Amino acid sequence: MVQIDFYTGATDSLLVACRLCAKAMQQGLRTVVYTPDEERMNRFDKLLWTFSPVSFVPHCRVADKLAEVTPVILNNRSEQLEADDFAVLLNLDTAIPPGFEHFKRVVEISDEEEDSKRHARMRYRHYQELGHDVRHHRLEGN
């Protein structure tokens, strides 16, 4: 059974994703960040370099030769979603990522826009219907 964590009420979902990647890295949990949206992936990639002036989150794209030894992998290709040595799948897409059930934990983030909330509710219900452990975390002042 997969543990699903929903973080709702994000002011900036990409910034929250950066913080969660940093936290996972500090806990020694390798993470795959998934979105098929190339523009969003590029913004997230740049933000990982700049979101904190005092820390660094080592990351690379899934096709990079260093992907096997990097704690955070950026993936925009659904056919390459494999759990292997990864504990966390951080989903930045509006749909449930294919292959999510092979991960120990899936992280979902929703901001306050109606479209984002609507998609998050659909994903939340689907995970529940599949019998996964779904937890909700309300973000305040992020």
pLDDT tens per residue across span 6-29: 999 999 999 999 999 999 999 999
Average pLDDT, the chain: 92
pLDDT tens column, 35-45: 999 999 999 99
pLDDT exceeds cutoff 90 at 56:
no
Sign of CA dihedral 16, 92, 57, 6: positive
Give which of 84, 82, 93, 80 is closest to 119, Cα–Cα: 93
* Integer Cα distance of 77 and 122 in angstroms: 22
What is the pLDDT averaged over residues 72-96? 85
Kindly list the strands in the beta sheet with 3-10, ordered across the sheet, starting from the edge strand earlier in the chain: 59-61, 72-75, 31-34, 88-91, 105-111, 3-10, 133-138
* 3-class secondary structure, 16: helix
- The token duo for 135 is 């937890």
Q: Is the pLDDT of residue 119 over 70?
A: yes
The class of domain 3-138 in CATH terms is: alpha beta
Tens-place pLDDT, residues 91-109: 999 999 988 988 999 999 9
